[in-house]
Amino acid sequence: MVGENRLLTLLTNIRIIAPQPRLETRAPGTTYMSLALSRSSLSTMSLTSTKPSLRVLNPPAETAEGKLAYSSELQAELDAASQQLESSSPEEILRWAVEHYAPKFTMATAFGPEGMVLIHMLAEIAPETPIFNLDTGYQFKETLELREEIKRRYGIEVELKKPELTVEQFEQANGGPVYRTDPDRCCFERKIKVLQQSALGMYAWSSAIRRDQSPDRAKAPIVGWDKKFGLVKISPLANWTKKLVWNFITQHNVPYNPLHDSGYTSIGCWPCTRAVGIGEDERAGRWSGLAKTECGLHTQ
């Protein structure tokens, strides 16, 4: 009887703490989590994957100008590495890139959701990686404000790379806004030339493109040679989908451009970007009404 009383007293004093439900948040431009994958599947994909024995490249050869020397042997190595990295997580791909090319490995970002995911990962893997933004002078203020949020959150200062001419000088020299008369030239002068200059002294750069974003990007390798800029181009998120990107942002509370909550699924320069309607392609808001889908950074 005494033993039963002691057991009853013990059970009475035990507090059972029920797990608190976690509020679900909505991925911009989607229905409530119906578009997102379960946390368990994401965790399995990004956290528990076993790192394979990845291919180690030969030491890079340089040209007389200090640039990475392209050769058929280098191309074969990149092709083999890209194939092997197809089954790797973005974190593993970034680690591979850092191990092979740092300190001559860099990242360009337009502060899109994919870029923010990579910045979050690099903040944990290699926060010293130089990251820059091509500041055309036409970016939304919300885009530039996100740069400050990155500095507060991660302690990373994204460098703004600017064209030689200001917007006012550029338009005055060309009789008005070039984005209206020749958008391809506008992109070349305010983006492509700036990246070409920024690439000097670097061996490799990371992009945030996904294969499912557009037909132009559908065949993007994980690792490849970017002949336009004379760099190895690494795309850690090539195999990811929009669902995976926003699931990661939600799970890790990654900051993002608030314009995404207003229907802007792809954000570039304000004169050439609009919100998209229901059922429209993800990049339909870029250069709307023109036979143009890319700025030229990701085309050869």
Amino acid at residue number 234: I
Residue 64 labeled ligand binder: no
Residue 228 labeled ligand binder: no
Q: Which two tokens stand for residue 202?
A: 């670097």
Q: Which two tokens stand for residue 288?
A: 């709307």
Residue 269 labeled ligand binder: yes
CB 121 within 8 A of CB 94: yes
Residues near 115 by beta carbon (within 8 Å), at least 6 away in sequence: 107, 109, 208
């280098």: which residue's tokens? 74
Residue 14 labeled ligand binder: no
Distance CA 122, CA 231 (A): 19
What strands, in cross-sheet order, belong to the sheet with 231-234?
159-161, 131-134, 105-108, 204-206, 231-234, 223-226
Q: Residue ranges of the alpha helices (H) in 226-269?
A: 242-252
- Specify the pairing of strand 131-134 against strand 223-226: unpaired
Distances (CA, A) of 284 to 132, 218, 279: 26, 16, 10
Residues with catalytic function: 295
Q: Residue ranges of the alpha helices (H) in the chain?
A: 2-13, 39-46, 72-85, 90-101, 113-125, 141-154, 167-173, 178-181, 183-187, 193-198, 242-252
Annotated binding site for [4Fe-4S] cluster: 186-187, 269, 272
Annotated binding site: 186-187, 269, 272
